[in-house]
Amino acid sequence: MVAALHALSAWAIPMFIVLIPLVAAFRKVPVYETFVDGAKDGFQTAIGIIPHLVGMMTAISMFRASGAMDMLIGWVAPFFSALGIPAEVLPLGLLRPITGAGSLAFATDLIKTYGPDSLIGRIASVVQGSTDTTLYVVTVYFGAVGIRNARYALKVGLFSDAVGFFAAVFACWLLFLIEPSFRIPRPSCANPAMGV
């Protein structure tokens, strides 16, 4: 399974990059023009995140610099380290269902502080990337049609977030701590096609 997950990581992007334009061209789509047309949205999206991320990064950086973060982590660390979970990622797990921008900022902060290839940096990436912001989704989707009684929807969402958090920790443990004995040659290091 570890090898399969590695292969997936290495091949997913190259496959997308080759297959989508090929299939499209086969179907007589003007691939380049379409690409440029869609790419415009990417710029808007990236710029649109700035206010959210600046607001949240400021608050999280201050929180870390003040020493409050270390205290908070210090309280929960003994319990979580017994489970093999770095306590540093716990606030991310709590923020994730509540605020998308906040958890993105927190994940960024963890990646910045501990390095992207550290266990903490990787868990942060996976936790952030593997679920959506439950409260936001409930508000937007039910709000749009005027549902006031969400019944069990919120519980299901939060439950799956909790499961997702532990699954993310497990997946990273599996790959990045057991990895050395399993390391397989990669077809493309760091994906040159994405223009590192």
Partner 1 sequence: MVNWIWLAMIALSVVFGAVNGRVQQVTEAAFSGAQTGVTVCFGLISILVFWMGLMKIAEVSGIVRRLSLLMAPIVRWLFPDVPKDHPALGYILSNMSANLLGLGNAATPMGIRAMQELQKLNPNPSVATPAMCTLLALNTASITIVPTTLIAIRMNFGSAHPADIIGPTLLATAISTGAAVAADRWYRRRQRAAPPVRPPSAGKASQRPASPPASL
Site for partner 1 in 73-92 (CB under 8 A): none
Nearer CB in complex with partner 1: 80/170: 170
- Distance between CA 72 and CA 75 in Å, rounded? 5
Binding residue count for partner 1, defined by CB under 8 A: 115
Q: CA of 62: how far to CAs of 50, 66, 68, 148, 153, in Å?
A: 18, 6, 9, 37, 35
Q: Does 178 bind partner 1 (CB under 8 A)?
A: no
Binders in 109-138 for partner 1, by CB under 8 A? 109, 111-112, 115-117, 121-122, 125-135, 137-138
Q: Does 144 bind partner 1 (CB under 8 A)?
A: yes
Nearer CB in complex with partner 1: 80/130: 130
Candidates 151, 180, 185, 192: give the one binding partner 1 (CB under 8 A): 151
